[in-house]
Amino acid sequence: MRVRAAVLEEFGSPLEVQELDLAEPQDGEVLVRVVACGVCHTDLYTASGADPSGYAPTVLGHEGAGVVERVGDGVTSLAPGDHVVTLFSPQCRECVHCRDPRTNLCLAIRDQQNKGYLPDSTTRLSRDGEPVRHFMGTSTFADYTVMPEIALAKISPDAPFEGACLFACGLSTGIGAAMNTAKVEAGSTSVVFGAGMVGLGAVIGCRLQGAERIVAVDLSPDRLRLASRHGATETMLGGPDTLERILESTGGFGADYTFEATGDVAVMRQAVEAARMGWGLCTVAGVAGKGETLDIVPRFLITGRRVAGSSFGGVKGRDGVPLLVDRWLAGEIDVESFVSHRLTLDDVNDGFERLERQDGIRSVIDFT
């Protein structure tokens, strides 16, 4: 079939919306009609050439939600008409990682996915007979996509697609960082560095876990106001003296939990040093630039602080995303406030420009 898709032809160049051929789903694969897709920093990161593992040509997009159109042989958990959220972090439920509660990093299709291929080492996307690679196993900057069954989470049909798509990446990553990676305890103090999509998700996760103090740090007063709306008990404009102000407000000890959601290694260091002496945990969810490193003074570790990384918030996607969507539908999470701009596929580069200007929280492409 013919599909319209936004293709990354060259790093650092605008995406090009064009027609491609999309082959039928093979064994264990599903054809999805994409209804909504968020424009995420990860897409921009790859398009810019900053991602050392990036490749082109490829169809970007990974924060998608849509409807199952057809299924290939062997697919048992999904049927035409099901509403789904796409998962760049799949869940086969069978590998050693999927069976272990300590991680969500499924091993089943990881190698081929990282190379831009589906599990059989081929692509379903092509142009004039030449293959076009998939991005993060999803490629949702297109009106249709073919994906592995294990990379789709079936969700309630009551969930609006433009909100549901945010659970495909940013929102689940932030909420999960607090709930799954850090396991924030009730009555604790948390500091969240960065109030974009992931940071706001972390604020929500801390609230859902019952944290007593939730301090949001950002450079934007507008984003800090939004953080307060979602559960931050205090806000703080970021700056060189952020660490000193956090220590002063915590009796000199630091916070029980800190979260870094900016991708800035200088902020990551602030987050580490703002964690409490004795037991403080810093969870890093931001993606740093190519070649950048995090400098940690060992003294901060040997006095009891810990540092953890978090990918997709530790969420085992097929099991965890539907539960988070249900909490949204139950009124525990205000997702609608994150959708700041509604775009068409032809406006995808405008979505990237808004990301760079920090204009709003999330632009969502509407394919209807």
Q: Which residues are catalytic?
A: 40-42, 62-63, 92, 95, 98, 106, 110, 169, 362
Dist CA 11 CA 315 (whole Å): 30
* Local structure of residue 88 (DSSP, 8 states): S
Residue partners of 240: CB distance under 8 A and separation at least 6: none
Q: Are strands 29-38 and 362-366 parallel, antiparallel or unpaired?
A: antiparallel
CB 86 within 8 A of CB 48: no
Kindly report the backbone phi and psi dihedral angles of residue 156, in degrees, each rounded to the nearest multiple of 5, phi listed first.
-60, 135
Q: In degrees to the nearest 10, what's the CA dihedral of 298, 302, 305, 310?
A: 60
Dist CA 33 CA 70 (whole Å): 9
Dist CA 285 CA 199 (whole Å): 9
| CB-side neighbour CA atoms (13 Å) of 351 | 30
CB 358 within 8 A of CB 238: no
C-alpha angle with apex 306: 303 to 309, nearest 5 degrees? 160
Three-state SS across 215-251?
EEEECCHHHHHHHHHCCCCEEEECCCCHHHHHHHHCC
- How far is C-alpha 192 from the geometric centre of its chain's CA atoms? 16
Kindly report the backbone phi and psi dihedral angles of residue 246, in degrees, each rounded to the nearest multiple of 5, phi listed first.
-65, -45
Dist CA 18 CA 348 (whole Å): 12
